[in-house]
Structure 1
Amino acid sequence: MSPKSSHPVPACQLNTSKQKTNAITSSFHTLEDLPWYGSGYLLTVTAMQPSFGKLYRLLSIKGVYVSCIVVFEVGSILCAAAPTSAVFIAGRAIAGVGAAGLLQGALVIITHTVPLEKRPLYMSIVISVFGTFTGKISWRCNVPIGSVVLFLILVFLKIRSDTVARDSRPKADWRKRIMKLDPIGATLIIPGICCLLLALQWGGQALPWKSSRVIGLCVGSGLLFAAFMIVQWKLGEDAILLFFILKQRSIFSGAFFLFFTAMPMTALRSSPLASGVDFLAFALPQIGPTVVSGGLATAFGYYVPYMIVGTAISIVGSGLIMTLQVATCTAKWAGFLVVCGLGTGMAINQPYTAVQAVVLEHDTPIANAVLQFAFQLGAALSLSISQTLFINKLRLEVQMKTPAIPPDMVISAGASNLPLLVQSPDTLLRLREAYTNSVRHVFIFALAAACCGFTFSFGFEHRNVKKVAAERKAAEESIDTDGDMHQHLSIHTEKIRNAEKVSENR
């Protein structure tokens, strides 16, 4: 992939099954597999994020990225041609593995092909295109699009750092090279994340929270996470999670910023109001501010102000959405979504710009993995929390407003089918009021998450990308042109670290 293009397809997968659930269920006649159609992809795309950070750091960037596209396309083909429900779920999971490394790979490619001072603009273009296609491309379209992208990458993408790393890499034993990838950490973190997400997917919906299965998943997840942190501390530089990167102020703040930013985005998109209009009103307005804020960060070097202003606008939009009533017209609530989209678009890409300014190029894959993992985890948690809040509130509202109608019947019918459920206009109005109050409950959660994201936007260091680029360029030029390449890289790294420490002290 070139810096001027991106691979937007994987972002659509989470919502694709949601839109086509009824058709899939009718085809396979397996209603019991319904929860796996969405969670199969969600589990792998979230769980694999930390591992891909290490893969992009140690292996060929182009090779890993091409492999991700191939794996993603294989999963898409399985989904499109699945004869059974089990094959479809397997395809979703395989597609999630490939998709986990695609956005990370796009950002790493930009890091190694675009000058630092110009990266904010290119990254904003990639992120805006990636987000725009969310939920709007089916897996059947992924194969032809992905094939074209794969051809372009194989033919045109040249990454100099891949060649330098290959030529200068010592011939290590294959066992040592595998251990450098931290297979122990991956073995612990992947099932740990899967246990957590399954507990969140099932708890309060498919199973009660007090069920032994949900409790077991929560306990297992906690134990696996604890073991993972111990292993990471013991391994040091060979770990998937590098603590010196996580402790960096902007990376730490960026992880929590994206974690909370993902929550209102997911809550808004998963609400019963979601339809084709929400794509026009929420997703499309993100494009302009994302690209413009990236362009301004490229022009002036500063990126923190756009996060602060963007999240503030999102808070205003979330507050406006809470005023929705049964009689609110489509134009009004769509306008509120536009406000949310504008704010989100202005802020969403800036943490990845911060990565470029606060860590060395060699460490950017790990930092990007931390941010992307936080974003995916926030989205997954938000989906579960939003659904639980909505269903629990709707049960109470239906019992209060229409005691004669079972809440489960209303939940199964959905908002659009309420006129088919009852004949009385008065009862229908009460049910719609129950739905509106329940949706507002979700929007309160979205507003709280947006406020938390706003708080963490103040935790970023106020670096200037253009100044950092000039400092690094000066450090490179000061390196003696004679001598061993490894010695040059060592001196280069040390000088940059010293320059960044001086900048932090200022």
Structure 2
Amino acid sequence: MDSVPTTLGAPSGPAERPDEDAPAHPDKLDASLLRIAGICGLASVMAFLDSTAVTVAQRTFVTQFGASQAMVSWTIAGYMLAFATVIPMSGWAADRYGTKRLFLGAVLVFTVGSLLCAVAPNILLLIIFRVIQGVGGGMLMPLSFMILTREAGPKRLGRVIAIGAVPFLLGPIGGPILGGWLIGTYGWEWIFLINLPIGLSAFLLAALMFPKDRPEPSEKLDVVGALLLSPGVATLLAGMLAIPGRDSLADPHVLLPIAIGAALIFAFVVHTRNRASHPLIDLGLFENPVVRWANITQFAFAATFVGAGLLVPSYFQVALHQTPMQSGMSMVAMGIGLVLTVPLAGVFMDKRGPGTIVLIGLPLIAVGLGVFTYGVARPEAHSAILLIGLLIMGMGVGCTSTPLSAACVQSLAPARVARGTTLLSVNDQVGGSVGAALMAMLLTTQFNRVGGGIEPDPTAVSGGETGAAGMAGGSPMNSYSDFAGDASQLLSHAYTTVFLVAVALAVVTVIPAIFLPRAVVVNINH
């Protein structure tokens, strides 16, 4: 196991200041910090509930606008690509403009985008307005994390991140329930209009209660890095999004964007290694062993959580013929597990470090997935077994997500936090997308292999948005909901096979977690 690290990496320029100049923080969670966490949580709830609610509305958009499902799926894909594009810029922008100003701007952009979506007269404008939402939403997640990290200090970070993580983790569960109810009761416009009072409240509260940004000299934007990384990540994810709808990975719609995206990211790595100072993302942070192993574990965890998390509602809707709202209600069991363990994980991490609690959480995820898979494999699905599996899985996720995120930034000096958060966010987004694409591809292959003449309704296939910290969206295959004939056994066999892969992935994730520190992480400057 690696020792407690020194903060490493290339100098970040004038913005860096030594730890001794950082403000002192009390050990207890005071009212001021809880207010800030609540405001960040309010904005996060708005963004992540909206993302999953839009997934529920896909069929409604097809009917309302008379558009093809391929066109409608861009209401999700466009958001996700905008989301992925702005994340790499968040670290530099936070250093340049300040986290408070940027947070206010992100909330405002998302809220205005929501209003525009609600009044969109056609599908093309709705897609454009969703891209605007994605710009705001893509900034909210890393900014909330930066703000909470700065205000909490290292001794309280685990507990406060645990509070802030709840909206990211519960969004995929509450979104289908809220979205289904709003669409059925008031109409699709209300999945966007509901954001207006939430967004305005978050904006006003943040303007009044967030501390002022601390003025610091800013560094120049790494323009070349930005032109390589942001399009690279977006193009790579676009290729992954195309996988479920194609017959082969060699399909040009899949292979070409993945190849271009990978080439741009590789070029970014080469550029960053040759750049003396101020890279967009400081890859020198990987010299810090905690950052390195936390990011590797986070990538594998995001792939597992997002991939499995998208399979579960897909199974409920396809094999058990539940509505999106009903599948959301079934997912509440996972939410209960999260609520039980997230606060305890934060307290445990602040006292014992991240390694031990993560090594409790990851096996729980594997066990929960295993129990759920057993329920899926039974001749007749047993709801109690399925719900117990989800409960255990939720407990494992609650023990894993917060400590991983907090461990990464705890080992960094204050001036490094923005860039470390950006690195973690990009890693999380790509890992989640890889997991979603992998599970979608495996499930599609199983459908084709065991399904015979079974064909999914083409109007039911939609894109998806990914990322573990929030799993910000739905499934690329989460609405294979209309199948010809009685194929319950074939479907159960297909899902069982893919869930077994998810269990194996959860087990593999334990390997890098072994190297996480099992003591409180404190950055040391020399």
TM tier, shorter chain? 0.7 to 0.9
* Alignment partner of 2:354 out of 303, 313, 319: 303
Aligned to 2:48: 11
Distance 2:51 2:434 in 1: 14
Identity %: 18
More divergent stretch after superposition (255-264 vs 210-219): 210-219
Distance 1:334 1:341 in 2: 10
Alignment RMSD (CA, Å): 2.3
| 1:249/1:461 contact within 8 Å kept | no
How many Å apart are 1:446 and its aligned residue? 1.5
Q: After superposition, where does 1:250-261 map in structure 2 within 5 Å?
A: 250-261=290-301
How many Å apart are 1:77 and its aligned residue? 1.8
SS at match of 2:444: helix
Distance 1:338 1:155 in 2: 39
Aligned to 1:84: 122
Are 1:381 and 2:431 an aligned pair? no
1:153-188 CA distance string (max 9 Å, x none): 1111114xx2342xxx38xxxxxx5xx221221111
Distance 2:295 2:409 in 1: 14
Query: Which runs of 5 or more residues in structure 2 are unaligned?
Result: 1-34, 179-190, 317-326, 462-478
Q: Going by fraction, where is helix more abundant, 1 or 2?
A: 1
SS at match of 1:236: coil
Q: After superposition, where does 1:78-477 map in structure 2 within 5 Å?
A: 78-134=116-172, 136=175, 138-159=191-212, 162-165=213-216, 169=217, 180-206=220-246, 208-271=248-311, 272-274=314-316, 275-298=327-350, 300-323=351-374, 324=376, 325-399=378-452, 405-408=453-456, 417-418=482-483, 421-422=484-485, 428=486, 431-465=487-521, 468=522
Distance 1:115 1:269 in 2: 32
How many Å apart are 1:55 and its aligned residue? 1.7
Aligned to 2:185: none
Aligned to 1:488: none
- AA in 1 matched with 2:371: L
Kindly indicate whether structure 1 or structure 2 has the higher relative contact order, using CA contacts under 8 Å at least 6 residues apart: 2
Distance 1:67 1:391 in 2: 40
Are 1:71 and 2:144 an aligned pair? no
Distance 1:383 1:408 in 2: 18
Structure (1 or 2) with the larger CA radius of gyration: 1
How many Å apart are 1:387 and its aligned residue? 1.6
User: TM-score, normalised on structure 1?
Assistant: 0.82
Query: Which runs of 5 or more residues in structure 1 are unaligned?
Result: 171-176, 400-404, 423-427, 473-495, 499-506
| 1:311/1:454 contact within 8 Å kept | yes
| 2:81/2:237 contact within 8 Å kept | yes
How many Å apart are 1:139 and its aligned residue? 2.9
How many Å apart are 1:409 and its aligned residue? 5.9
How many Å apart are 1:268 and its aligned residue? 3.0
| 1:357/1:463 contact within 8 Å kept | no
| 1:281/1:335 contact within 8 Å kept | yes
1:432-472 CA distance string (max 9 Å, x none): 1111111112212211221222111112233414xx3xxx7
CA gap 1:296/1:372 in 2 versus in 1, 3 angstroms? same
| 2:72/2:123 contact within 8 Å kept | no
Distance 1:89 1:409 in 2: 23
- AA in 2 matched with 1:371: L
SS at match of 1:116: coil
| 1:128/1:291 contact within 8 Å kept | no
SS at match of 1:48: helix
Distance 2:197 2:262 in 1: 41
